Chains A and B, each alone.
Chain A
Amino acid sequence: MDKINDVRNGIPQTDPRKSETFTDSINSEIRRAAATGIYDIRGGGAKRKLPHFDDLLFLGASISRYPLEGYREKCETKVTLGTRFAKKPIELDIPITIAGMSFGALSGQAKEALGRGATMAGTSTTTGDGGMTEEERGHSQKLVYQYLPSRYGMNPDDLRRADAIEVVVGQGAKPGGGGMLLGQKISDRVAEMRNLPKGIDQRSACRHPDWTGPDDLEIKIMELREITGWEKPIYIKIGGARPYFDTTLAIKAGADVVVLDGMQGGTAATQDVFIEHVGQPTLACIRPAVKALQDMGMHREVQLVVSGGIRTGADVAKALALGADAVSIGTAAMVAIGDNDPKWESEYNALGTTAGAYDDWHEGLDPAGITTQDPHLASRLDPVAAGRRLSNYLKVMTLEAQTIARACGKSHVHNLEPEDLCALTVEASAMSGVPLAGTNWVPGGDGNY
């Protein structure tokens, strides 16, 4: 008997079963690739579910540990970055910085908003692949100047105008990959700053053009220090791939600060396959990096800044407890100033997406006016109001981190320690090196990375 008659005759049928391997989402991507002949490009960081800070909990104080009074006893949040070699370390009021995002990827208004918000909150912001603009220098009291493989716009005057220099070796969204800015966003101004033809698909190099290994990097850093009179802290930013070895080599090369970016860290644009399949979760990167610092006798002398998926004061506190000196935010800062705001839902729908999922930042059509070079769209973002929102958000996160630190009996957020934490899952326990809740068990060996 054939199937169609079975159905007509009411014979019970097995429910239609979709593949767990070939899901609707996977199949849609296969059809898209087949139709267009180009890999899926998008912004943001890894969207897949990963072990993260949510899988850790703090052990508040009680009898065995003594808490600090919530709103009355002091809990410091200041952090100084660049104490190893720089004559002028950066002093921040809060342990949260704004990560590198380029003018080009972002509008001038968005860069100004980031500078304003960071300055009001007493912290630093960072340039990106494309050079330093007057908007961000003018509105950022403390500005970190990225030194990238492309060297777009790189010049000694801006190096000297910076408060710190960040040598970008990699980023969490694409360790081993270079930058990408597609033609829609190569406006006249962006093209001029990058010395490129207007409208081309710009792909930045993944390696620096004039050094290849840690020994060369050491000399490169010495050159940058010589050009800037040994004043500026020099950061090295690495993507979270082999954090123990890369941190070790960054210290060896002379870094004042190591910036470690896990795979939830965002990018303006790269291949989805890169974002989702290369690198390690932020949670898995911190302890190996801290161990490298400790093994080199440099923990707290070379500061560690962690980024990639930081959203709340709890995330900040957990990163610090695992050994970081500060954190950096990119995606969260964009959301704070207005990215993916539901008020633009009808426009997101017109682009075939929805608020909260919009990630085609490379197309330059951002309804929120943030990831665009279109003057009309960019004008939607009021940099003063957006800066205020960012400042509010940074201060809320700081208050949240202080709340947790006081509950753990700490008078400085830097006094948080792994012993204040437990893990909810075996995976998070192994990655973070803190015991599984209710046990004294830490899976994953003896911490040799």
Chain B
Amino acid sequence: MQTLDMSELDLRTVNATLQQQKADTNQTVWEIVNPKGSHAIAVGLDGPIEVAVRGSTGYYCAGMNKEATVHITGSAGPGVAENMMSGAVIVEGDASQYAGATGHGGLLVIKGNASSRCGISMKGIDIVVHGNIGHMSAFMAQSGNLVVLGDAGEALGDSLYEARLFIRGTVKSLGADCVEKEMRAEHLEILGDLLERSGTDAKPEDFKRYGSARQLYNFNVDNASAY
């Protein structure tokens, strides 16, 4: 294992070192110690490496990740794994606002709670939150899956497109054009796979599925109150 100590190395050195690890690297296992809540740790990674961040992080940890697996042992600040393309990001603690925002792919697992706007504008990423999520989560979510073992805050899935939302607990309120939908076999299969890959033994049958009513996809003056 290679160790990058942020009490000795600056952020640029840490990120440049990790970004240099491409598909053919032999140095596949890394740890970052003393992250001290720094912003933009392990962003723009571009190879199949494993990075353990020993502690908590500031904004945008693992932003735009490709292929790498980033494991944060503490909590994550706003925008963790934003715009992730592939790979995986695991947060042992809680995540602040915008977790997984605009993510195109990969798996984000938050073992604690996630704050507001979790999965905002998600574009294919899978997000599994073991705890609760805050208000306006999955706002304008385009595709991918958001799985929440706990409760969801206000205005879940407001103006969402084709993303699937699976919630086991309560939903304080649904956002515009978000409705509860039938849980079919293919959804149970998707959900079961995500639960297994995110390290929980929760049962797919205990969840409800939410998605777009598709009433706002094209303008209609009779829906003006929803705009």
Chain A residues with CB under 8 Å of chain B are: 36-38, 150-151, 154-156, 159, 183, 195-197, 199-201, 205, 209-211, 216, 219-220, 222-223, 226-230
Contact = CB atoms under 8 A, between A and B. Distances in A.
A37 B161 CA distance: 24
Contacts of A154: 83, 102, 104
Contacts of A38: 219, 221
A35 B123 CA distance: 37
Interface centre among A150, A197, A209, A220 (most CB of B within 10 A): A209
16 contacts: A151-B102, A156-B85, A183-B217, A199-B218, A201-B217, A205-B140, A209-B120, A209-B121, A220-B59, A223-B39, A223-B40, A226-B12, A226-B40, A226-B44, A228-B44, A230-B12
Contacts of A36: 221
Contacts of A219: 39-40, 58-60
Interface in B123-146: 123-124, 139-140, 142-143
A210 B46 CA distance: 22
A210 B79 contact: yes
Interface string B1-40: 0000000000110011001000000000000000000011
Contacts of B123: 151, 195
B162 to A, nearest CB: 6
Contacts of A151: 83, 102, 121, 123
Given A223-B40, A226-B40, A227-B64, 10 more contacts: A151-B121, A155-B104, A195-B104, A199-B218, A200-B161, A209-B102, A210-B79, A210-B98, A210-B102, A211-B78
A220 B64 CA distance: 12
A-B complex: 9 closest residue pairs judged by Cβ atoms: A37-B221, A227-B44, A210-B98, A151-B102, A223-B40, A210-B79, A200-B217, A210-B101, A156-B64
Contacts of B117: 209
Contacts of B140: 205, 209
Interface string B55-91: 0001110011010000000000011001101000000
Given A223-B63, A230-B12, A210 B44 contact: no
A151 B98 CA distance: 14
Interface of B: 11-12, 15-16, 19, 39-40, 43-44, 46, 58-60, 63-64, 66, 78-79, 82-83, 85, 97-98, 101-102, 104, 117, 120-121, 123-124, 139-140, 142-143, 161-162, 217-219, 221-222
Nearest to A203: B159
Nearest to B39: A219
B121 A150 contact: yes
Contacts of B64: 155-156, 159, 227
A228 B143 CA distance: 27
Prevailing SS type, chain B contact patch: loop
Q: Does more than half of chain A's interface fall in helix, strand or loop, or is it mixed? A: loop
B8 to A, nearest CB: 18
B170 to A, nearest CB: 25
Nearest to B140: A205
Given A156-B66, A200-B217, A201-B218, A209 B161 contact: no
Contact of B217 (A159, A197, A211): A197
A222 B83 contact: no
B176 to A, nearest CB: 12
A29 to B, nearest CB: 15
Contacts of A201: 217-219
Contacts of B217: 183, 197, 200-201
